[in-house]
Structure 1
Amino acid sequence: MKKSSINICILILILPLLTMIENVGASGNNDFTVVNYETREQDIDNDGFVDQLRIVFNVNTTKSQTPISAKLITIFDQYPNQIEVIQWDNFTLTNEKSLSRSIFVDAWKEGKYIISLKFLNPETSELISEYQLGEYNLMVGMETPFVALNVIAKHEGKTVDNNFNTGSECKVKRNVLDNIGHRYNKTGEVQFLGAPWISPSIKPGENTPNNDEIDCSSWPAGKYNLKLIYHNSLGYSLETWKNFSIINQPAPSFNLNVTGQNMEIGTLCFITIEPTDGTDFIENQITWTTIPEHDEIDGLELNCKMWLPGIHRIIVNVTNSEGISATNGVNLVRMPPLGDQNLSTWGNESVTSSWPVRSGGEVESEYMGYIGTGIGMLLLFLISILVLKRFGDDMQGDFSTSKSQISSEGLPTHRDEDGHLWRQHPDGQIDWWDETANMWIPFQ
């Protein structure tokens, strides 16, 4: 009786161990045995939540070599879809000792995971044995996928991400990361929408974000809505966007600075382009137009030192890199030289170039109003009013009589191609005959 009790106790102790031994003799493979298996819950990011499963199994064989394929099937149950991930572990057993192997399951989303384990013959794909390891609720411990999209541009010396001019230094930065997708070889494709033309493709990074830059300096003006979209095979769908505007460059803004106005020929004379907004005109196209015409004018400054006496019109057109232009103009008056040094030439009727050129007129420009010409016209108008009041209605008759009796008072005279009469004093001063007022008017 006592011996029977001892045998019963031994049997009770052995029975739990027998449940851990899975002999596959029923399938005709008596050489392969699963000694035990277990599922261990782990917390890889130490946040207090289970985010990883470690499937451990111990196997042996009676043959010198037995090839085995372990197939771990993980199903993520997320209504209305189920995502299945399969992991393989191929190895060869020997009869020298048992072999312990592990397969890990990292949660890719928060939820319920169903785990099963199969052993197969890799040569015939025959199923040897199969085990249901249960259901587990897991949190995500790995870094989840993300996408980022940024615009960086230089505008008026500042770094901005919106409302900058065409031609500004501009870059679109893209960042894509999918550690989980790389973990299970389930990465997807990246879509980039909204650019004016085709952009290079980009793939998600594994451990660090994959990033690139797209040059948008040459993009045309307009409103942009850029989108960066990413989907993988594990149920992740990400999207980010960036809205911004590129505006046309404003027309060039500049003044014309004049040195030598109303000065004698041979004295310093310059006309200089001065930008009013502080921009650099080096890359702009500059066109000078002068009346009378002068050759070899280029750059931001012209030299008018030896221009002949008279009124000269200068028109400047500046065009920026976007084809937007602005025009400005000015009238320049140059006088004959004073003194006796050139009296033999200046005032000589046979030397027509020594007399002023009456090529007046106004320059249509964004910057109007020529003060010198305006004052002269105002004085002429006042003198005309006084003369009209003095002579009354008979002015026309007096004018006709006196027109043929113009006296130069002994000074040299010259009539230009337009029929205007000029005279010159010994000190170089020039007068012109006003037929309306019937008098000599000093040339200013």
Structure 2
Amino acid sequence: MREWLLVALMLSLCFTGQVVAEEEESDPFTAAGLNLIALRNDSLDSNQDGMMDAIRVVVVINSTEQWADLTLNLIGEHSGFTVNEEIFMAFEDQENASLTYDSWAVGEHRLILEISDSDGRLLKSINIGTFDLSPALKVPSVDLLLSGSEIMQTGDSCEITRDFIDETGPRWDFVGTRSIVGTPFKVLDSDDVLDCSNWPAGNYLITETYQNGLGQTTTDTLELVIVNKPPPHFSIEVSGNEELAGTPCTITHVAAAGENHEDYVKDWRITPSIGLVANTSALDCSKWEAGVYKILLTVTNDEEIRTTGGIMLIREPSTEFESEDSDAPVLSKREETDTSSVGLWGIGVLSLALGIAVFVLMMRSPEDDQLGANMLNDMGEPDSEGLPTHLDENGMLWRKHDDGEVDWWDRSSMMWKRW
């Protein structure tokens, strides 16, 4: 009986040794001459906000082979997305390694450590565990910041700053794409500041959206209204009107209250011409010859919007400021004016001629009366024929043609005459 027990014991020892050998051969990590000496994981608060947001895994591996080339891959899984942190180990005898998993979203993250050889053959897979973490990195964020008012005029200073950040996408090699709509011109990702001072007038709803490869999305919207700059408002002030030629005289462009026309273009047109006039806000008319001047000023702003204004200037003849024009008016010397008998005969002849002219006018036909009446409207006033009219401060009636030319109303002939 004792002999049979000894035989049974020897047979069981033989089978046990065979099972252990088969297990060793089936474990590729052990078969490669590797031993896992130590494995530890630590929870970290990397951004110091009081919430755990990262896991550090430390391993110590021993090799019985002369040299070992290994790849350690720490895999994190969350909400259907997988990220990897990979390092390489090349050593003999014994070596340690550390891998850190930075959380990219709030929730549970499952970590697995895989160890592979230089040929990419998986030697060992270790379940590190599941951890409840908050983000260790800054999640995607887009903010459109306007420098200026939400309602502005064309040409006003205007900038839009695109404040953008995403640390999770680049950390795990899941960089996303940025898109912006609602701008009148093409915008590149590298354009961090948009210059909207040259945008045309309109209502703008600007929206920027970003999504990285981890499914994280952010968006921001900015509303901006740009209206056309109104035309320049100004007046023309004259000092020296109806004064003697040669005396102080100035013509000044005065911008309306609250407007700055310093950089605007000012185009002066003066009839009769006095020569080239510079782009200026004031003219010196003290040396102009005696006469009546039509003065037009066109002011153009930065947006090519213009306004035209005009005045009339009268400069009286002066004995001290003689004109080179022999036909120019001169100032009467009253009782000092030289006279001759020829002048008296001339007055008599002129009186006779006027008498004859009056007689002819008295005898004119009804058709002639009708012709003169045609220049009056139904109210008995001068007919401007649809053109705009203006009554100046001297009581003179003017009308303006589309080409800028003007006529004045001659009360004696009851007709319009070109200026």
**Offset of 1:278 from its aligned partner?**
4.8
Q: Any idea what SS the aligned residue of 2:236 has? A: strand
- The answer to whether the 8 Å contact 2:140/2:217 transfers is no
Structure 1 distance, partners of 2:117, 2:193, is 50
Taking the TM superposition and a 5 Å limit, the aligned residue runs for 1:13-412 are 26-27=27-28, 29-77=31-79, 82-95=80-93, 98-122=94-118, 124-152=119-147, 160-202=148-190, 212-298=192-278, 299-337=280-318, 351-354=326-329, 370-371=392-393, 373-374=394-395
Structure 2 distance, partners of 1:311, 1:292, is 8
Which sections of structure 2, spanning at least 5 residues, go unmatched?
Answer: 1-22, 332-383, 398-407, 414-419
Match of 2:339? Answer: none
**Offset of 1:175 from its aligned partner?**
1.7
Structure 2 distance, partners of 1:317, 1:231, is 53
CA 1:368–1:104 in structure 2 vs 1: closer, same or farther (change >3 Å)? farther
Structure 2 distance, partners of 1:25, 1:222, is 74
Structure 1 distance, partners of 2:223, 2:308, is 35
Structure 2 distance, partners of 1:74, 1:270, is 84
CA 1:174–1:435 in structure 2 vs 1: closer, same or farther (change >3 Å)? closer
Structure 1 distance, partners of 2:66, 2:265, is 87
Letter of the 1:326 partner, please give it: T
Structure 1 distance, partners of 2:292, 2:165, is 71
RMSD after superposition: 3.1
CA 1:23–1:131 in structure 2 vs 1: closer, same or farther (change >3 Å)? farther
- The answer to whether the 8 Å contact 2:70/2:90 transfers is yes
**Offset of 1:164 from its aligned partner?**
1.6
Q: Any idea what SS the aligned residue of 1:119 has? A: strand
- The answer to whether the 8 Å contact 1:24/1:33 transfers is no
Q: Any idea what SS the aligned residue of 1:182 has? A: helix
Match of 1:383? Answer: none
Structure 1 distance, partners of 2:195, 2:50, is 45
- The answer to which of 322-331 and 297-306 deviates more is 297-306
- C-alpha offsets along residues 216-247 of structure 1, whole Å, 9 cap, x if unaligned? 22211111122222111222101112111122
**Offset of 1:368 from its aligned partner?**
6.8
- C-alpha offsets along residues 298-339 of structure 1, whole Å, 9 cap, x if unaligned? 22222322434343221111111211111111111221226x
- C-alpha offsets along residues 332-378 of structure 1, whole Å, 9 cap, x if unaligned? 1221226xx79xx89xxx9421269xxxxx9xxx997643x13x89x
Q: Any idea what SS the aligned residue of 1:181 has? A: helix
TM-score for both structures, normalised by structure 1: 0.65
- The answer to whether the 8 Å contact 1:29/1:128 transfers is no
Structure 2 distance, partners of 1:23, 1:176, is 54
**Offset of 1:295 from its aligned partner?**
1.7
Letter of the 1:225 partner, please give it: L
Structure 2 distance, partners of 1:132, 1:369, is 99
Which sections of structure 1, spanning at least 5 residues, go unmatched?
Answer: 1-21, 153-159, 203-210, 357-361, 378-417, 421-433, 437-444
Identity %: 24
- C-alpha offsets along residues 156-175 of structure 1, whole Å, 9 cap, x if unaligned? xxxx3322221222222112
CA 1:435–1:325 in structure 2 vs 1: closer, same or farther (change >3 Å)? closer
Match of 1:415? Answer: none
CA 1:185–1:368 in structure 2 vs 1: closer, same or farther (change >3 Å)? farther
Count of aligned residue pairs for this structure pair: 322
CA 1:351–1:192 in structure 2 vs 1: closer, same or farther (change >3 Å)? same
TM-score for both structures, normalised by structure 2: 0.69
Structure 2 distance, partners of 1:84, 1:233, is 11
**Offset of 1:120 from its aligned partner?**
0.7
Letter of the 1:163 partner, please give it: I
